[in-house]
Amino acid sequence: MEDKKKVLILFCGGTIVMEEKEDGSLAVPDSQDSAISILQNVEPRLSTIADYDIEFIANIDSTNITPADWDKMLYQIKAKYQDYDGFVITHGTDTMAYTASALSLAIIGLGKPVVLTGSQIPGEKIESDARRNLVNAFRVAIMDISGVFIVFDERIILGSRASKASESKLDAFLSVNSEDAGEIAIDIKIKDWVKKRNREPHQVEIRPGFEPNIFVYTLSPGCDPHGLELLLADQKLKGLIIRAYGTGNIPYGFENFFRKARERNLPVIVTSQCLHGRTLMPLYEVGRKALELGAIEGHEESLESLCVKLMWGLRHFPDQIESLI
């Protein structure tokens, strides 16, 4: 008989452990212990799937997550890597896709599953989606696959492709410009292209450190390029993402901004405002021009993934941001 599997939960708070206040608002419990016991009560039989331990990272609304929390997760995964078959990160949904992208980038040589999950409805409520998501995250965390994933509702999504698409539906996440990595049905179905677990003895490496001082700017018709030029004067600013139109098109008038950004050696990534689709900047003159002036094309990546690549790249490969995309 195969040994019982072991899972490490990295506890990060989120709605899954939140309590409803008298005014109807939701907040994480004041005490760390009660937050953890809410999680344990979501499904007391979890250990029939895998023995597990809980490591505390944070008890926060994920709106308040910072790169320092990502680093804590990375250090825990590195330190406990040999002791567990898989990792489950319980996390608020608002920034889960950013965390999933961050871990996807900064863990090198991952040969096991790292699965993020949470819930849209507090775990203590009878109608909560927490039990189902947590149980399925555990099931995926002991499977014969490797990589960072979000398991939510019926979807298994590659961490670097995930985006939160609904603030209220239980099916809250989708894969951006990619198919899901798998599906939770009666059985769990995993796509053939998903990497298998590395069954050979192996080490995992991590590269913590993310530059938080980036800015995301959304174009709107008639917007004044001067605003962006002013931003360049802030020496704390290290990188910019412009949410442009369609295939990555930027109106006339931004030439000076691009020239100044180049002088300052500040990377500017251009992505599309379209809900679906990717950039194709050479297609129109208004996109091509920005490329010629030094813009970095965002291609098919989600905004979450681009932000994290910029933040991580600025710390580790400041002159090669383009090659990360």
Residues carrying an active site annotation: 15, 93-94, 164, 284
d(CA 47, CA 147): 22
Shortest Å distance, C-beta 26 to ligand ASP: 7
Other C-beta atoms within 10 Å of 299: how many?
17
- Closer to ligand ASP at the Cβ: 172 or 296? 172
Q: What is the nearest approach in angstroms of ligand ASP to the Cβ of residue 212?
A: 18
- Picking from 95, 9, 99, 128, the residue whose alpha carbon sits closest to that of residue 57 is 9
Nearer to ligand ASP, 91 or 112 (CB): 91
Residues that contact ligand ASP, how many (by CB under 6 A): 10
Among 15, 59, 76, 90, binds ligand ASP (CB under 6 A): 15
Contact 56, 89 (CB under 8 A): no
What single-letter DSSP state applies at residue 120?
Answer: S
Give the range of 59-67, 106-114, 134-142, 208-216 binding ligand ASP by CB under 6 A. 59-67
CA angle 142, 93, 159 (to 5 degrees): 50
Which of 51, 61, 71, 255 touches ligand ASP by CB under 6 A? 61
Residue numbers 84-143 binding ligand ASP by CB under 6 A: 92-94, 118, 120
Q: Can you name the residues that pair with 145 across neighbouring β-strands?
A: 196
Cα–Cα distance, 239 to 248 (Å, whole number): 18
The DSSP code for 125 is S
Q: Smallest distance, Å, CB 278 to ligand ASP?
A: 27
Q: What is the dihedral of CA 163, 167, 172, 173, to 10 degrees?
A: 0
We find the least distance from the C-beta atom of residue 302 to ligand ASP, in angstroms, to be 17
**Of 31 and 64, CB closest to ligand ASP:** 64
Residue nearest to ligand ASP according to CB distances in the complex: 92
- In the complex with ligand ASP, the residue whose CB is nearer, 57 or 286, is 57
H or E element, residue 194: none
Taking the complex as a whole, the smallest distance from the CB of residue 13 to ligand ASP amounts, in Å, to 6
Applying CB under 6 A, among 2, 22, 45, 63 the residue interacting with ligand ASP is: 63
Q: Is 14 in the site for ligand ASP (CB under 6 A)?
A: yes
**Residue 63: CB minimum distance to ligand ASP, A:** 5
Nearer CB in complex with ligand ASP: 94/153: 94
Place of tokens 């993310």: 210
Q: Whose Cβ is closer to ligand ASP: residue 96's or residue 206's?
A: 96
The H-assigned helical ranges of 142-279 are 225-232, 255-263
CB 80 within 8 A of CB 55: yes
| Helix or strand (DSSP H, E) at 73 | helix 67-80
Cα-Cα-Cα-Cα torsion 272, 274, 275, 278, nearest 10 degrees, comes to: -50
Tell me: does residue 62 bind ligand ASP (CB under 6 A): yes
Q: Enumerate residues 212-231 that contact ligand ASP by CB under 6 A.
A: none
Structure tokens at 62: 């994920």
CA Rg, the chain, in Å?
Answer: 21
Is 154 a binding residue for ligand ASP by CB under 6 A? The answer is: no
| Positions in the binding site for ligand ASP (CB under 6 A) | 14-15, 61-63, 92-94, 118, 120
